[in-house]
Amino acid sequence: MALFKKNTTAYSIDNIILPEHVGIIMDGNGRWAKKRGLPRSAGHSAGANNFRKIIRYCSDIGIKYLTMYAFSTENWKRPNDEVTALMKLFKQYLEEALRDFQDDTIKLRFIGDITAFSKEIQDLMYEAVEGSKNRDGMVLNLAMNYGGRDEIVMATKTIAQKLKNGEITAEDIDEKMISDNIYTAGQPDPDLIIRPSGEYRTSNFLLWQSAYSEYVIMDKLWPDFTKEDMNYALIEYAKRNRRFGGV
């Protein structure tokens, strides 16, 4: 994995083959706030504004699937006031999506165990998914209370129950069956995963799905991540020679 520190201005994505599915680990909100002497929640607020900008951009340029890591199964361990601030931002975004984006083409989905959220947030999530389900534009997967390991455990339990019920035999279990029982069932695996903030970790993001994803790690904190940075990552992806284990 290479770390990109270059000035990412004026990168044109005309004439490049775009990835079908992009995943983004929105990292660096806390450091962004700290650098400015602000509370971490201010970093998340700036991160949420950037989230709006980047999802719109991805939809405009024709990305088909976008998965954004908004809240992990481990993020509950953060201080109460930080978790509360994040919940407030999620609620604001969902209300805004329901109120203002009636003519939108983006289809919203959630991946993760959303039963852990308040009833109010869960209701907004269901409403947003229901209201956007017939749209034909970009699929936006919001990873909320998502963990790649947790997802694999969930799929294993579902499959074990089918085995117990006699619906399948152990020989029927294959990679496709696992892919069909995880949150992203029916969607292509991510081609490209972008991690701003310079950390070389997967942080439990799309563990099963990212077996052959290309990673681009960028030295930019999420609130500072621009459309130009997105273009840079897309160009970097287009230059990669994907062999999927072959030659």
Q: Please report, as ranges, the residues that interact with ligand FPP according to CB under 6 A.
A: 26-31, 44, 47-48, 51, 70, 75, 89-90, 93, 142, 222
For 25, 29, 50, 94, 104, the CA distances from 36, given in Å and listed in that order, are 22, 11, 17, 28, 35
Quote the least distance from Cβ 238 to ligand FPP, whole Å.
26
**Which residues have C-beta within 8 Å of that of residue 194, sequence separation ≥ 6?**
22, 23, 24, 25, 215, 216, 218, 230, 233
Residue 75 is a catalytic residue? yes
Residue whose CB is less far from ligand FPP, 27 or 229: 27
217 vs 199: CA distance, rounded Å: 7
Neighbouring CB atoms inside 10 A of 39's CB total: 15
Residue whose CB is less far from ligand FPP, 146 or 222: 222
Phi, psi of 202 (to 5 degrees): -90, -20
Which residue in 7, 49, 75, 172 is the catalytic one?
75
Quote the least distance from Cβ 159 to ligand FPP, whole Å.
30
Q: How is residue 221 written in tokens?
A: 């904190």
Which residue in 15, 27, 50, 180 is the catalytic one?
27
Residue 104 is a catalytic residue? no
Quote the least distance from Cβ 26 to ligand FPP, whole Å.
4
- Residue 19 is classified by DSSP as P
The answer to whether 79 touches 99, Cβ cutoff 8 Å, is: no
Residue whose CB is less far from ligand FPP, 48 or 159: 48
Residue whose CB is less far from ligand FPP, 86 or 159: 86
Q: Which residue is nearest to ligand FPP (CB)?
A: 30
Quote the least distance from Cβ 94 to ligand FPP, whole Å.
8
Known catalytic residues are 27, 75
